[in-house]
Amino acid sequence: MKVRLVDIAHARSGDKGDTANVGVIALEPRWYQVLEEFVTCDRVAEHFRGMIEGAVDRYELPNLNALNFLLHGALDGGGTLSLKTDAQGKVYSTALLRMVIDVPDAEARRLDLPAAE
């Protein structure tokens, strides 16, 4: 079943130099496992392919039902050097939430995940 990340998580992002961080938080605690299983580093790197220059790191915070992603080389140099509208990476959060993941039907039903339209 296709599931939109925006239907199962909320997020906030910020910057550190030329790196954007995106914290993704499950809307329901039981959905955290879905984030952990399907929103992998590789999947996020593929999602942002061509938009960021560096690697992607992922950290798990099960205590907050959250994942933290570092998107390196995401801010056109970052801070004051950047020419981007989003020089401080404030809306990489919702850019990540555009992701659609593919969850096996049985698991999606068990966790009561909302299906993408």
**Chain residues in the site for another protein (CB under 8 A):** 10-18, 21, 23, 25, 27, 47, 50-51, 59-66, 68, 70, 76-77, 79-81, 83-86, 91, 93-95, 98
Angle (CA) 21 104 25, round 5°? 25
- Cβ distance 51 to 98 under 8 Å? no
Q: Which residues contact 2 (CB under 8 A, 6 or more apart)?
A: 100, 101, 102, 115, 116
Q: How far is the CB of 110 from another protein (least distance, A)?
A: 24
Instruction: Name the residue nearer to another protein (CB basis): 61 or 110.
Output: 61
Q: How far is the CB of 111 from another protein (least distance, A)?
A: 19
